Amino acid sequence: MIRTNAFTRPLLALHALLLPALALAQKPDLGSVEKQPLNLHAIGMFFVFVLMTLAITYWAASRTKSASDFYTAGGGITGGQNGLAIAGDFMSAATLLGMTAMLYAQGVDAYIYLVAFFVGWPIILFLMAERLRNLGKFTFADITAYRLNQGKVRTMAAISSLVVVCFYLVAQMVGAGQLIKLLFGLEYNIALVVVGVLMMVYVTFGGMVATTWVQIIKACMLLIGGTAVMVLSFKEFGFSFQEVTNRAMELHKLGSQLLAPGSLLADPVTAISMGLGLMFGIAGLPHILMRFFTVTNAKEARKSVFYASSIIAYFFNVIAIMGFCSIILVGTNPAYFEGGDITGKLIGGGNMVAMHLAHAVGGNLLLGFLSAVAFATILAVVAGLALAGASAISHDLYARVIMKGKASEEKEIKVSKIATIGLGIVAVLLGMAFEKMNVAFMVALAFGVAACANFPVLLMSMYWKGLTTRGALAGGYVGLFSSVLFVFFSKSVWVDVLGNASPLFPYTQPALFSMPLAFLAIVVFSKLDNSKEAQAERAAFDDQYVRAQTGVGAASAAAH
């Protein structure tokens, strides 16, 4: 099993999804939240960001007239813009706060985590991006249901999407409340309401256009803030990585083991399961997949992944340098420790390492900017999640299942806006309900469902001629329920939440076990299905294959 201590336990929750400030939602740090002074620079910059994004939403509202505009920005986003927006969706406050803190505590092991986060992008680039754009319209369920029973398959895809979105949202909101309480001095419940209201405004009035530009601005702010801290701190050591690591090893409790792997993932089964979940979960996240329908063609979709993965790779290396520099610049400065004792706890808790580093090299101004960036990150990611959830409800369930494709665009958009408001209210209420609870299991569950329910069905629908509706339903539901049950019976829920003595399932990550079950169910149930419907579904694959490869027959998203 993973070796943990009081510091790494909350950080390990981050490895599944890079959720904004998730670690700040964990109990160990709550006791020191009140000790953070009010950050006026952060509050001022936060208001500037909010006013800027509200102006964008006002502009976007005038451009959002059709369902295509609302869901996919009319397919008018360029590859570069979409790449920035995807990076903005993926790089969270936890990337900045949690991973810097993990590097500060565990050294090179955290960099191995960063690499694991990254390797899912080549899968999307080479296996999925082009086909997603050629086959889809608004949601990934358009692809899974392309030649199968629309009602049944869309219902299954919408359910798994909503599970991912809702658990993702709850973890986001709990992290948001604790982060804002920590950095801005606001009450937890007020912070939740602020995030919820802004999210509803962005999505309801601006749709995908506003959401995209909020994510682009946030990505740029995160890159600028992180790069500034990295350059200023790296400058202290003459831009010599060897100098940084040598001094860090001299000062850190791990010594030379700081650059040796194995302190966090001692158990190979957990390591493999986590790696599979990270790789394939990214390719099953509905709010990431939805971004590929916003570009003009398949070429721009591929460019999106190239730009996004390049930006993410760069930022991960920024984080790595920040983490090692913080061992020296923060770890040896008594001003950042409670009681002025460097052997004690960091002020604000372990996840404030990046913020303390920003203050050490740039004073209150850089600290304020980085704090505002952390808040902007939460708003951007929450807006993307809300839009993905609303799309599953309005486009997949309402328009295609309930109305069987006969709903007007105006009615579909109206339902989507109502769903957004509903999701916002639910997210705020659940955030309040889970304030004191360890939410690590929500992260594992959301990522587990994405990897075990969404990804297998999506991949097989694009690549396997033998897939039938029965096979897709079996694989989707087996992946969904097995991943939920494995997480429920793991230590994250069975012991930490429910208080039982020992877990019924010994591992915290379900992907190694649930994903093969899902693929097996897909193959077995499809092979056993010889109905007329199944034969017609297999025959329809050739048409789908041509369209997936060439885009022939796929209307431009801008024309929808």
Who's near 125: CB < 8 A, 6+ residues apart?
A: 302, 305, 306, 309
The residue type found at 357 is L
Helices (H), 392-454: 409-433, 440-449
pLDDT for 374? 81
Q: What is the mean pLDDT of the chain?
A: 83
What's the pLDDT tens digit per position in 124-175? 888 888 888 888 778 888 888 889 988 899 999 999 999 888 888 888 788 7
What's the pLDDT tens digit per position in 67-107? 888 888 878 889 999 999 999 888 877 678 878 888 898 88
- Tell me the CB-side half-sphere exposure of residue 272, using CA atoms within 13 A: 7
pLDDT for 4? 43
| Domain 8-553, CATH | 1.20.1730.10
Who's near 384: CB < 8 A, 6+ residues apart?
A: 89, 211, 215, 287, 290
> Would you say 441 and 496 are in contact if contact means Cβ atoms under 8 Å apart?
yes
CA 450 – CA 429 distance, rounded (Å): 24
pLDDT for 263? 64
Q: Which residues of 120-140 are buried (b: 16+ CB within 10 A; e: fewer)?
A: bbebbbeebbbbbbbbbbbbb
Q: What is the percentage of the chain residues whose pLDDT exceeds 90? A: 28
Q: Could you tell me the pTM of the whole model?
A: 0.84
* pLDDT tier at 11, thresholds 50, 70, 90: very low
What's the pLDDT tens digit per position in 360-378? 999 888 988 888 888 888 8
What's the pLDDT tens digit per position in 306-359? 999 999 999 999 999 999 999 999 988 888 888 887 888 888 777 788 889 999
Burial of 52 (0-12, 13-18, 19+ CB in 10 A): middle
Reply yes or no on whether the pLDDT at 218 is more than 80.
Answer: yes
Most confident of 4-18, 137-151, 349-363, 510-524: 510-524
* pLDDT tier at 16, thresholds 50, 70, 90: very low
Reply yes or no on whether the pLDDT at 555 is more than 60.
Answer: no
What's the pLDDT tens digit per position in 170-192? 887 887 787 777 777 778 888 88
The residue type found at 39 is N
Sign of the torsion formed by the C-alpha atoms of 295, 195, 98 and 185: positive
Q: What is the percentage of the chain residues whose pLDDT exceeds 70? A: 89
pLDDT for 306? 92
Greater confidence (233 vs 556) lies with 233
**C-alpha dist (Å) from residue 403 to 139, 339, 394:** 17, 64, 10
* pLDDT tier at 539, thresholds 50, 70, 90: very high
pLDDT for 357? 93
DSSP state of 91: S
pLDDT for 174? 81
> Would you say 139 and 290 are in contact if contact means Cβ atoms under 8 Å apart?
yes
* pLDDT tier at 25, thresholds 50, 70, 90: very low
Residues in the chain: 560
Of the ranges 10-14, 95-99, 252-256, 484-488, which one carries the lowest mean pLDDT score?
10-14
Greater confidence (469 vs 448) lies with 469
> Would you say 382 and 210 are in contact if contact means Cβ atoms under 8 Å apart?
no
Reply yes or no on whether the pLDDT at 508 is more than 90.
Answer: no
pLDDT for 138? 84
Reply yes or no on whether the pLDDT at 468 is more than 90.
Answer: yes
CA 346 – CA 331 distance, rounded (Å): 9
Q: Among residues 125, 94, 88, which one has the least CA distance to residue 210?
A: 88
pLDDT for 486? 92
Greater confidence (228 vs 383) lies with 228
CA 250 – CA 407 distance, rounded (Å): 67
Reply yes or no on whether the pLDDT at 482 is more than 90.
Answer: yes
pLDDT for 171? 80
What's the pLDDT tens digit per position in 223-257? 999 999 999 999 999 999 999 999 999 988 888 88
CA 46 – CA 133 distance, rounded (Å): 35
* pLDDT tier at 560, thresholds 50, 70, 90: very low
